[in-house]
Amino acid sequence: MSSICRTKPVEGLRLLNRVLTISTPYIHRSHRSIATLAFEEIRCSPEKPYNFTAFILHGLLGSGRNWRSFSRSLASSLSADGVNWRMVLVDLRNHGKSSEIEGFVPPHDMENAAKDVANLVHSQGWDWPDVVIGHSMGGKVALQYAESCSRGVYGQLARLPKQLWVLDSVPGKVNPEDSNREVEKVMQTLQSLPSSIPSRKWLVDHMLKLGFSKALSEWLGSNLEKSGDSMTWTFNIEAAVEMFDSYREKDYWSLLEHPPEGTEIAIVRAEKSDRWDPETVQKLESIASNGTGESEGKMSHHLLPNSGHWVHVENPKGLLEIITPKLVSLV
């Protein structure tokens, strides 16, 4: 049974993380009043110091809580021989609990979203994460984080992650003509809705009438929260549109071709995902097979079978089987 710890002052937070004795795994939630990101922590042995840290970055219109179940499983699978992993589930700017925090400097793009992650490390006084895992838009935030970190944008003491996982996120520019434009349709639909939604059922029924799938409609409904007699979104839709535009425009192929020394960039492509065209897949496989320079990091490509874009929901076991051995190798 998970337990929830209430927010404590910043100066006591790190000590709190290390001494609490709560049954496994536990979640720590942070809701801050300044412009640093909200987050949750999951660890299997909170009474013991953690040895390694992985940041989890969600996708567009999502939040860290979407990754709770998978993160619990990942933390459990890695906990052996006294090793204690900490999973930090981040709410990116304009999403989840971070959407309630004022002061995030525009523009709302990949550069600033990644810088927010670095600011979170600074504000909490943490060591830099050993691993960063990003899904969909969060995958590009992760790539931007590594690129900026390698250029010294976050300061001389900033340390690159040993592993960077990009889950079903195309590393180059995204041409809307190469997809069924479902994301664009969703964004346009959400912008046309009233700011207050009568109920989750109303939203799901409305989206179904517009031709969206039941799974997508119910997932969107999960991003509503009670506000008086109605419900509101757990994200800032207008700012999220800006982030989506930046996500489509950014290109990180050069980072994959020349990863920073000491970092492995692992791309996971979902077998049934509609995000990938043949040319992109061929380019990805070519980079992975050709390797990188001696003074550079590594790049690897992994295929997740029997899964569409929602990798942590459609095949969490397969995703664990890909990620866990690689993270174990860091110990």
Q: Above 50 in pLDDT, residue 12?
A: no
Residue type, 329: S
Separation CA 163–CA 263 (nearest Å): 5
The per-residue pLDDT for 43 is 94
pLDDT tens-digit map of 61-80? 999 999 999 999 999 999 87
CA distances (Å), 227 to each of 7, 222, 223, 233, 274, in order? 22, 14, 13, 9, 35
> Given pLDDT bands bounded at 50, 70 and 90, which one contains residue 176?
low
The per-residue pLDDT for 45 is 87
Q: Can you tell me which residue has the tokens 């195309």?
A: 170
Tell which residue, 271, 260, 263, has the closest CA to residue 302. 271
Q: Please count the other Cβ atoms lying within 10 Å of the Cβ belonging to residue 325.
A: 10
pLDDT tens-digit map of 248-304? 999 999 999 999 999 999 999 999 998 899 999 999 999 999 877 778 999 999 999
**Gyration radius (Cα) of the chain, Å:** 19
The per-residue pLDDT for 107 is 97
Separation CA 293–CA 271 (nearest Å): 29
Bigger pLDDT: 3 vs 192: 192
Global pTM value = 0.87
